[in-house]
Amino acid sequence: MNRLKDKVAIITGGAGGIGKAAARRFAEEGAKVIIWDINVEKGKKTVEEFEEEGLEVIFDHVDTVASAAILKATEQVMKTHGKIDILINNAGITRDATLKKMTEEQWQQVIDVNLTGVFKCTKMVVPNMLKSGSGRIINTSSVVGLYGNFGQTNYAASKAGVIGMTKVWAKEFGRQGICVNAVAPGFIATEMVESVPENIINALKEKIPLSRLGVPEDIANVYLFLASDEASYINGTVISVDGGITI
């Protein structure tokens, strides 16, 4: 407990799935957690749920594609807490289709949220970390960004791009005390994955050496490690959390 005592952490897409699990773990470990999410209803429900568990988090309605909204939210965090120690770029969407069927709109929506949103959030937040001379930026990629996946041209491109940005930022900011890393989840039992037909889920499980999907907490625990002092010499890496599916 208290591995993140008094650390200020922003988690994008924190109202559900992996982001919500991360918000819970970070709050349990003493962090002051701010959730940025576009879904107001889920955000408010998450705050209420955590309050019942004795955990305090703040929800802010932020569209991570909208520069003005990100800047306003960043300024609010600085006004309230005076610093930002951790940024988890977790928000993401899918709009799956084969290349022949994929529309330009489907392509652009995924690139906007999964890639450009990560760029915008980091660009707004990192100056405050640079002033303090320390920080952790953790970007959510995917095994799809490493190895590709049928019907996910847009998603694979966005998640591969996140890995590229992670390595660049690790070089740019490392000497100024900021560690930048990425996590590449495999198939995790979130609402996004659970909407996939059961026969496909079962086929996936057969390919995973651990014979199960991951759970959001599996990813949240890796976020926690990378955000903690225990990971102070890890920079520019990509950690796959996938049950061994890519072996």
pLDDT of residue 230 exceeding 80: yes
For residue range 6-57, list pLDDT tens digits in order: 999 999 999 999 999 999 999 999 999 999 999 999 999 999 999 999 999 9
pLDDT of residue 196 exceeding 80: no
> What's the CA angle centered on 163, arms 160 and 167, to 5 degrees?
145
Predicted local distance difference test score (pLDDT) of residue 191:
79
Distance CA(93)–CA(65), nearest Å, equals 12
Q: Give the contacts of 104 (CB within 8 A, at least 6 positions apart).
A: none
DSSP type of residue 87: E
CB 154, CB 105: distance < 8 Å? no
Amino acid at 148: G
What percentage of the chain has pLDDT greater than the value 90? 92
Distance CA(12)–CA(76), nearest Å, equals 15
pLDDT band at residue 170 under the 50/70/90 scheme: very high
Q: Bridge partners of 11?
A: 35, 88
For residue range 108-124, list pLDDT tens digits in order: 999 999 999 999 999 99
Predicted local distance difference test score (pLDDT) of residue 247:
85
Active site residues: 155
Q: Residue 56: how many CA atoms within 13 Å on its side-chain side? A: 5
Between 234 and 198, where is the model more confident? 234
Burial class (CB in 10 A: 0-12, 13-18, 19+), 214: buried
3-state helix, strand, coil in the chain (%, to 5): 50, 15, 30
Between 46 and 246, where is the model more confident? 46
pLDDT of residue 192 exceeding 90: no
Alpha-carbon distances of 165 from 47, 68, 162, rounded to whole Å: 31, 22, 5
Closest CA to 183 of 224, 241, 96: 241
Instruction: Name the helix (H) or strand (E) containing 127.
Output: helix 117-132
What percentage of the chain has pLDDT greater than the value 70? 99
> What's the CA angle centered on 44, arms 52 and 5, to 5 degrees?
60
Structure tokens at 101: 């069927």
Lowest mean pLDDT among 128-137, 141-150, 195-204, 237-246: 195-204
Average predicted confidence (pLDDT) for the chain: 96
pLDDT of residue 71 exceeding 80: yes
For residue range 120-169, list pLDDT tens digits in order: 999 999 999 999 999 999 999 999 999 999 999 999 999 999 999 999 99
pLDDT of residue 199 exceeding 90: no
The structural domains of the chain, ordered by start, are: 8-185+217-239 (3.40.50.720)
pTM of the model: 0.96
